[in-house]
Amino acid sequence: MRIGQANSYPVSGIQENLKIIFPDTECAIITETFPIPEEAFNKARKQSRSDIILSKIHNYAKKEKTLDKVLGIIDADIFVPELNFVFGEAECPGKAALVSLWRLRPEFYGKPPNTELLEERSTKEAVHELGHAVGLRHCSNPFCVMFFSNSIFETDRKKSLFCNKCHAKAEKIIKMQEVKSFERQV
């Protein structure tokens, strides 16, 4: 799923990579786009509240009973009140996840555009947020995809895969399946 209007999303690249990382899961692109909710935009910060956008994805995901997880991809700068910015946010555990391409683009850091790098970075952040949606929390291994990226340096350093510990945890959670409540993780 995409939110808002924009072009040249690396969506199919993310999808291809997600299929490799989650081999037992069917991974389809929803072509629907949604405008960024007006109430999410903070004029002073020129950023949008990711929790407000995430609740829209939550509502969409709730209606779509056949979908297990819904990942929204947005091309806008997003934040949560306690942080300057976030690369994404997800329910932990839950059905809804969100990733922003805004600070994953090399151009944001004054570098030339690089589609391959953008695809790699957005895959990492997509897997990270989907990992939260599965029920995983942050991992202290800086190379694990569940490591919390506070900067693009940390995103570039980590891999797009779960470490052995997180992988085992995810398998265990998926086996238990029961989702009773969730909280949000960035």
The interface with Zn ion within residues 129-168 (CB under 5 A) comprises: 139, 141, 144, 146, 163, 166
Q: Are 97 and 133 in contact (CB under 8 A)?
A: yes
**Whether 70 contacts 95, CB under 8 Å:** yes
User: Does the annotation count 116 as an active-site position?
Assistant: no
Provide the mask over 5-44, with x wherever binding to Zn ion is found by CB under 5 A and - wherever it is not: ----------------------------------------
Q: Which of 82, 129, 154, 171 is catalytic?
A: 129
Q: How far is the CB of 126 from Zn ion (least distance, A)?
A: 12
- Per DSSP, 68 falls in state S
Q: How far is the CB of 175 from Zn ion (least distance, A)?
A: 18
For residue 73, CA distances in Å to 14, 109, 158, 166, 172 come to 10, 20, 20, 24, 28
Of the candidates 134, 135, 161, the residue with the CA atom closest to the CA atom of residue 147: 161
Least separation, in Å, of the C-beta of 34 and Zn ion? 23
Residues that bind Zn ion (CB under 5 A): 139, 141, 144, 146, 163, 166, 185
